[in-house]
């Protein structure tokens, strides 16, 4: 397969490329466990445009690993291969707490217009309708890390059996597991004394977003070749800002796609996607 | 914290587990699907422990199993799930959604700060984060204050000293010195903050051999040590074995099918059924299974193959 010319990229691969583009060279970057899309984005960025990025692996905390494959669980020795060493859990969180972590990646089952995320519970957390797995380190890191990239593969809102749309980008968030730009009480990050700048990019299967600099509301910046502004509006419960010029996302080069396929021979990242998105392909 | 100076801490699984009493706060070593003290947890379940309060960071089958067996009533962890492998944790979800288990989710740095406060002998430590999130609502014991030096708001989290840390290490000696290989996750923080430490090990070694490995836990914190090969199964314990994906798929399917099915298909077969740990090892597939899980050492292809089959149910 490595010998064959690469002539297309899948939607997941294009999304991984968009997440990789949010990484700057020379910064300390960390992804959480259970996050194959950011893991591959980091592996790609370091070998593409950010060779001096410090890659800290999600659960092993290995530094600059060269994994032979991505397993479907994060605390595995395979993800430590190629690292000179690993740091410990307190060292990792201390780097962020003192303001030295450049970027991290967070997701949510509910995302509100200011980038607050819920991965804790749907309904009342004291008697949840759905208990979600939990935020890991996301609550602390959302406050401490300099920049956060939000990603989700579930922007498209399906209709449930009762005919009700199930939005991921919601008007009302049930629980704030990690903080975006403005709290539930309307307080800014600065007034909360938080160190980091909050989420600056949001990458979904429908488009790429940032936040309006004045209102801190989600703002559409780019679409995929096969999505429209209307798709975004139809699948977002609140009203997002639409940038004056919405572009089409840049596609990865064949060598970028080759790197993604080399690092993920088990296609672990595809487990994050719906089958309809797996079949979206773009000619390179 | 008590100091344990006995020369010989070797104990049976039954006696070691009996240090844990109903209602205690326990910290479980390892994390996600790695090096969790599963044999000790199965023994806790057989002894009928209940109303336990578990604290820690990101976990999986360990806490889900305790939820499925009705052993715990408070979960104060940062994550319980099966990641990309199987998704949400069925027993944990059911226990939280039915109200049997109280949701007290925490966050990794918060809990490390609480353990470090206990370790340092101070009543609390501050964090700058958590402000603006709903964790403050979930944890009335956290306090906020204005920093007297900078004027910035801070969250104060109280010292947390678990009653018992339950650890699975790769190596140990009779006196209770341990060598835990990384990822260490929160194990060393649990050990230094807890009142009691009980440990199972893959191999008990003479002290001279252990010394050559540069142990990272001194004996005086450890109250008991039990040699239990495959004591972390079905989680991984490198360099001995990878995690048992087929077993976890079976676990997941039984848990997903409901409380009763989980009790009859899983707990009866793998927790209450085997009279000894050796019998457990034969039920999970005996020598052939052990060879398979140890085949990660045979190179990248063999290692990768352990993650390809069987396809589990994905939520």
Q: Residue A160 falls within a domain, yes or no?
A: no
pLDDT tens readout for residues A126-183: 999 999 999 999 999 999 999 999 999 999 999 999 999 999 999 999 999 999 999 9
According to the model, what pLDDT value does residue A3 have?
A: 66
* CA atoms of B64 and B45, how far apart (whole Å): 12
A122 at interface of B, judged by CB pairs closer than 8 A: no
Query: Can you say whether residue B151 is alpha, beta or left, with left for phi > 0 and alpha for psi between -120 and 50 degrees?
Result: left
Q: Residue A184 falls within a domain, yes or no?
A: yes
Angle of CA points A63, A68, A69, to nearest 5°: 100
How buried is residue A79: exposed, middle or buried, by Cβ count under 10 Å (0-12/13-18/19+)? buried
According to the model, what pLDDT value does residue B2 have?
A: 87
According to the model, what pLDDT value does residue B1 have?
A: 76
Can you read off the two tokens belonging to residue A248? 């089409």
Query: A219: domain CATH number?
Result: 3.40.1080.10
State how beta strands A281-283 and A8-10 pair.
Answer: antiparallel
Neighbour tally for B31: CB within 10 Å: 29
Give residues with Cβ within 8 angstroms of A235, minimum separation 6: A155, A156, A157, A167, A169, A206
Average pLDDT, chain A: 97
Q: Which of residues 49-108 of A touch B (CB under 8 A)?
A: 59-61, 68-69, 71-78, 80, 86, 88-90, 93, 96-97
Task: Tell me which residue of B87, B89, B81, B79 sits closest to B110, measured CA to CA.
Answer: B79
Q: Residue A126 falls within a domain, yes or no?
A: no
Q: Which of residues 75-94 of B touch A (CB under 8 A)?
A: 77-85, 88-89, 92-93
Q: Which of residues 158-197 of B touch A (CB under 8 A)?
A: 182-186, 188-189
* CA atoms of B151 and B194, how far apart (whole Å): 34
Mean pLDDT of B159-170: 98
A142 at interface of B, judged by CB pairs closer than 8 A: yes
Cβ–Cβ gap B93/A34 under 8 Å: no
Mean pLDDT of B13-22: 98
According to the model, what pLDDT value does residue B314 have?
A: 42
A-B Cβ pairs (cutoff 8 Å, strict):
202
Percent of chain B residues past pLDDT 90, beyond the cut? 97
Q: For residues A31, A229, A112 and A212, what is the CA-based torsion angle, rounded to 10 degrees?
A: 80
Helix (H, G, I), strand (E, B) or coil at A244: strand
Cβ atoms of B9 and B224 within 8 Å: the answer is yes
Distances (CA, A) of B220 to A234, B4, B172: 62, 5, 13
According to the model, what pLDDT value does residue B308 have?
A: 87
* CA neighbours closer than 13 Å in the CB half-sphere of residue B63: 38
Mean pLDDT of A123-127: 92
Among B82, B108, B238, whose Cβ lies nearest the Cβ of A77?
B238
According to the model, what pLDDT value does residue B309 have?
A: 62
pLDDT band at B91 (very low <50, low <70, confident <90, very high): very high
* Phi, psi angle pair for A16, to nearest 5°: -60, -40
pLDDT tens readout for residues B255-266: 999 999 999 999
pLDDT tens readout for residues A101-121: 999 999 999 999 999 999 999
pTM as predicted? 0.97
Distances (CA, A) of A221 to A106, A154, A212, A218: 19, 18, 10, 10
According to the model, what pLDDT value does residue B310 have?
A: 58
* Phi, psi angle pair for B28, to nearest 5°: -100, 125
Q: Is the pLDDT of residue B19 over 80?
A: yes
Mean pLDDT of A83-103: 97
* CA atoms of B225 and B16, how far apart (whole Å): 7
Give residues with Cβ within 8 angstroms of A67, minimum separation 6: A43, A78, A79, A80, A81, A82, A263
Lateral strand order in the sheet of A218-223 = A54-56, A28-31, A103-106, A147-152, A199-204, A207-211, A218-223, A241-248
Q: Residue A234 falls within a domain, yes or no?
A: yes
Query: Can you say whether residue A216 is alpha, beta or left, with left for phi > 0 and alpha for psi between -120 and 50 degrees?
Result: left
According to the model, what pLDDT value does residue B312 have?
A: 45
According to the model, what pLDDT value does residue A237 have?
A: 98
Cβ–Cβ gap A69/B83 under 8 Å: no
* CA atoms of B174 and B137, how far apart (whole Å): 45
B257 DSSP 8-state letter: T
Q: What's the gap in Å between the CA of B5 and the closest CA on chain A? A: 28
Q: Residue A172 falls within a domain, yes or no?
A: no
Collect all residues of chain B within an 8 Å Cβ-Cβ radius of residue A143.
Answer: 128-133
Mean pLDDT of B9-28: 98
Q: Which domain holds residue A40?
A: 8-108+138-154+179-277
To test the contact with chain B by mutation, choose from A74, A89, A182 the residue with the greatest count of B C-beta atoms within 10 A, namely A89
pLDDT tens readout for residues B238-285: 999 999 999 999 999 999 999 999 999 999 999 999 999 999 999 999
Q: What's the gap in Å between the CA of B303 and the closest CA on chain A? A: 8
**Total structural domains within chain A:** 1
Task: Tell me which residue of A221, A241, A246, A259 sits closest to A43, measured CA to CA.
Answer: A259
* CA atoms of B88 and B94, how far apart (whole Å): 11
Give residues with Cβ within 8 angstroms of B181, minimum separation 6: B170, B238, B239
Query: Can you say whether residue B202 is alpha, beta or left, with left for phi > 0 and alpha for psi between -120 and 50 degrees?
Result: alpha
According to the model, what pLDDT value does residue B311 have?
A: 53
Cβ atoms of B179 and B222 within 8 Å: the answer is no
Helix (H, G, I), strand (E, B) or coil at A195: coil
Mean pLDDT of A201-216: 98
Cβ–Cβ gap B129/A144 under 8 Å: yes
Mean pLDDT of B46-65: 98
Q: Residue A64 falls within a domain, yes or no?
A: yes
pLDDT tens readout for residues A1-33: 556 899 999 999 999 999 999 999 999 999 999
ipTM at complex level = 0.96
- Tracing tokens 């009335």 back to the chain, one arrives at B140
pLDDT band at B313 (very low <50, low <70, confident <90, very high): very low
pLDDT tens readout for residues B187-220: 999 999 999 999 999 999 999 999 999 999 999 9
Cβ–Cβ gap B183/A271 under 8 Å: no
Can you read off the two tokens belonging to residue A170? 């919601």
| Nearest Cα residue in chain A from B58 | A136
């Amino acid at each position: 397969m490595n010998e064959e010319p690469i002539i297309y990229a899948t939607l997941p691969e294009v999304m991984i490329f968009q997440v990789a583009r949010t990484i700057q060279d020379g910064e300390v970057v960390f992804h959480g466990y259970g996050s194959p899309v950011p893991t591959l984005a980091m592996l790609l960025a370091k070998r593409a445009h950010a060779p001096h990025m410090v890659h800290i692996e999600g659960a092993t905390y290995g530094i600059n690993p060269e994994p032979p494959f991505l397993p479907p669980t994060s605390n595995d020795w395979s993800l430590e291969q190629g690292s000179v060493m690993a740091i410990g859990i307190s060292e990792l969180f201390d780097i962020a707490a003192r303001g030295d972590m450049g970027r991290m990646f967070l997701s949510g089952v509910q995302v509100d217009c200011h980038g607050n995320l819920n991965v804790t519970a749907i309904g009342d957390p004291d008697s949840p309708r759905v208990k979600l797995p939990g935020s890991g380190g996301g609550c602390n890191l959302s406050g401490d890390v300099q920049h956060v990239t939000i990603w989700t593969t579930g922007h498209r809102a399906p209709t449930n059996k009762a005919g009700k749309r199930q939005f991921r980008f919601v008007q009302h968030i049930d629980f704030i597991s990690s903080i975006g730009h403005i709290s539930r009480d309307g307080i800014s990050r600065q007034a909360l004394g938080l160190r980091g700048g909050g989420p600056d990019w949001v990458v979904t299967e429908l488009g790429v977003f940032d936040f309006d600099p004045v209102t801190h509301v989600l703002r559409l910046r780019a679409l995929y070749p096969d999505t429209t502004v209307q798709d975004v509006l139809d699948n977002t419960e609140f009203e997002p800002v639409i940038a004056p010029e919405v572009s089409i996302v840049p596609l990865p080069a064949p060598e970028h796609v080759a790197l993604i396929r080399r690092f993920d021979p088990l296609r672990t990242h595809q487990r994050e996607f719906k089958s309809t998105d797996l079949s979206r392909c773009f000619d390179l | 914290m008590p100091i344990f100076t006995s020369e010989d801490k070797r104990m049976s699984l039954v006696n070691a587990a009996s240090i844990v009493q109903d209602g205690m706060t326990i910290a479980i070593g390892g994390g996600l699907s790695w090096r969790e003290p599963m044999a000790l947890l199965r023994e806790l379940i057989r002894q009928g422990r209940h109303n336990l309060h578990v604290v820690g960071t990101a976990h999986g089958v360990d806490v889900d199993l305790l939820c499925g067996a009705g052993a715990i009533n408070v979960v104060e962890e940062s994550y319980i799930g099966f990641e990309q492998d199987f998704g949400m944790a069925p027993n944990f979800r059911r226990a939280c959604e039915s109200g049997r288990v109280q949701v007290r989710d925490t966050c990794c740095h918060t809990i490390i700060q609480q353990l470090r406060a206990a370790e340092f002998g101070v009543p609390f430590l501050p964090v700058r984060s958590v402000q603006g999130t709903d964790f403050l609502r979930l944890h009335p014991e956290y306090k906020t204050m204005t920093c007297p030096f900078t004027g910035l708001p801070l969250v104060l989290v109280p010292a947390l000293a678990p009653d018992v840390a339950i650890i699975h290490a790769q190596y140990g000696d009779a006196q209770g010195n341990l060598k835990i290989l990384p990822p260490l996750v929160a194990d060393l923080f649990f050990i230094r903050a807890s009142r009691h430490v009980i440990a199972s090990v893959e191999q008990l070694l003479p002290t001279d051999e252990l010394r050559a490995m540069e142990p990272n836990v001194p004996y005086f914190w450890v109250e008991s040590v039990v040699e239990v090969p495959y004591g972390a199964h079905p989680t991984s314990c490198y360099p001995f074995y990878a995690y048992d994906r087929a077993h976890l798929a079976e676990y997941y399917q039984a848990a997903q099918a409901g409380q009763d099915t989980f009790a009859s298909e899983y707990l009866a077969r793998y927790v209450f059924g085997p009279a000894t740990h050796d019998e457990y090892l034969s039920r999970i597939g005996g020598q052939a299974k052990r060879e398979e899980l140890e085949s990660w050492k045979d190179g990248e292809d063999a290692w990768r193959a352990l993650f390809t089959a069987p396809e589990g149910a994905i939520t």
